[in-house]
Amino acid sequence: MESKDMKVIFDKVVKQVTNNTIAGIFVILPVFITVFLIVNIFLWLDSSLPGILGLEWSTGFGILVLLASAYVSGLIAKNYFGKKIMAAGNIIIGRIPIVNKVYPAIQQIVDAVNMQNKKLFKKVVLVEFPKENSYSIAFVTSDDNPVFSDKLGKKLIAVYMITVPNPTSGFLVYYPEEDVIDVDMPVDVAMKKIMSIGMLHDDQLIKESLLKAGTDAEWNKTPIFKRESKTEKVQIIKD
């Protein structure tokens, strides 16, 4: 075999190894970052937090403290008086220098990726933005805006466009109904599309969304997770 052919084969092998290695890094990186954050939070809870609180506990107890804190926080957040306390706490935090800049930003990021808040978006659409013949993904927040619609004599649709890569800001724009293009795409898929700055493939995102929806549906069919309504319970008793 000639040296030229050997060089071609060697280049192909090097290129394949390089491409596979880079692809593998992008596969491993999200898992590594997730595990890294979870482990470090766990280690901090188990080591630093007891010293701050002046307590002593066994290794591994920190995760129980975290889960218990999350549960209690959830109860407080759903309680009327708890909401008042949280509102007062936000006001206090808003008056603390530096903290009042960091905390709201973190809170907004958490809200942006929270699935409950995504339900506020009715559907995904395309609109011309920021100029003619260029389109942006947007979320319909309201299709009933009589004050503005009556003023212009046409139905206006309120859409919100999230800026990339910062999800804590965006643009609220009112478009005429005929200028809003409906897109057959779930809200969570559009969110991932935006946050990936368009790099994730649509088909794969939709496939993952449908798979998750199917999994959730199967869990809902499982008797142990199924909640019976009062009417169903009465019917069962009668039978």
SS3 212: helix
Are the C-beta atoms of residues 169 and 163 closer than 8 Å to each other? yes
pTM above 0.75, yes or no: no
Exposure letters 76-108 (e unless 16+ CB within 10 A, then b): eeeeeeeeeeeeeeeeeeeeeeeeeeeeeeeee
| Domain spans of the chain, in order of start | 115-200
Structure tokens at 145: 């805006």
Whole-angstrom CA distances from 91 to 85, 96, 99, 105, 236 are 10, 9, 12, 15, 50
**Please, which contacts does 130-135 make with residues 24 or more away whose CB atoms are closer than 8 Å?**
135/181
Fold of 115-200: SH3 type barrels. (2.30.30)
Q: What is the pLDDT along the chain (239 residues), one digit of tens a residue?
A: 566 677 778 778 888 888 888 878 877 887 888 788 878 877 777 777 777 767 777 777 777 777 888 788 778 777 777 778 877 887 887 788 877 777 776 666 566 555 555 556 889 999 999 888 899 999 998 888 999 999 999 999 999 998 876 666 788 999 999 999 998 888 888 888 887 777 777 666 666 666 655 544 443 444 433 444 444 444 444 44
